[in-house]
Amino acid sequence: MFNNKQGPGIRTRVLLLISLVLIIAGTTASSLLIVRSRLQQHVQKTLAADLRHSVETFQDLEAHRRSALEQEISLLASLPSLKALMTTSDVRTIADDAVDFWKTSGNDLFALADANSRILSANAQGEGNAGRLKSDLQAVIADPSRHYLLSGSRLYEYSVRPLYFGSAATGTLLGYVVSGYAVDHRLLQEVGRGAGAEAAFVTGKDIVASTLPNGKRDLLQGMVGSLRENSQEIVSLGSERYLATTKDMTNGAGAALRLVVMKSFDEADRTEREINRLVFLVSLLAIAIGSLFMLLLARMVTRPLELLATGVQAFGEGDPKYQLPSGGTQEVRYLSRVFAEMRDEIQKKNRALVESERLATIGRMASSVSHDLRHYLAAVYANAEFLASPALPASERAELFNEIRLAVNGTTDMLDSLLLFGRTGAAQRVPTSMIALVNRAVALVRTHPDADMVTVRVESKADVTAAIDTRQMERAIYNLLLNGCQSARQSSGRREVSVALNSDETTASVTITDTGLGVAEGIRENLFDPFVSLGKQKGTGLGLTLASSVAREHDGSVEVVSSRPGEAVFRLTVSRVVASGAKHNAATAPSAQLTS
Per domain, the residue ranges of the chain are 78-183, 329-408, 424-575
pTM assigned to the model: 0.41
* 347 has pLDDT over 50: yes
Which H or E element spans position 568? Answer: strand 567-575
Taking CA atoms, 529 is separated from 361, 403, 446, 540, in Å, by 11, 31, 26, 12
- In this prediction, residue 591 carries a pLDDT of 36
Average pLDDT value for residue range 131-160: 82
**In this structure, CATH architecture of domain 78-183:** 2-Layer Sandwich (3.30)
- In this prediction, residue 77 carries a pLDDT of 83
User: What is the per-residue burial (b if ≥16 Cβ within 10 Å, else e) of 514-536?
Assistant: bbbbbbeeebeeebbebbbbeee
Please write the tens of the pLDDT for every residue from 233-285. 888 888 888 888 887 776 665 566 778 888 787 777 777 788 878 877 887 88
Q: Which residues pair with 563 in a beta bridge?
A: 568
CB atoms within 10 A of CB 2: 11
Domain 424-575's class? alpha beta
Q: State whether residue 263 is helix, strand or coil.
A: strand
Please tell me which residue, 46 or 79, carries the higher pLDDT value. 79
Please write the tens of the pLDDT for every residue from 544-581. 788 888 888 888 998 988 888 889 999 999 998 876 55
Which H or E element spans position 498? Answer: strand 496-503
- In this prediction, residue 470 carries a pLDDT of 84
Average pLDDT value for residue range 42-64: 76
CA 170/CA 175 separation, integer angstroms: 15
Amino acid at 71: Q
* 593 has pLDDT over 50: no
Please write the tens of the pLDDT for every residue from 358-371. 666 555 555 555 55
Q: Which residues pair with 379 in a beta bridge?
A: none
CA 510/CA 476 separation, integer angstroms: 11
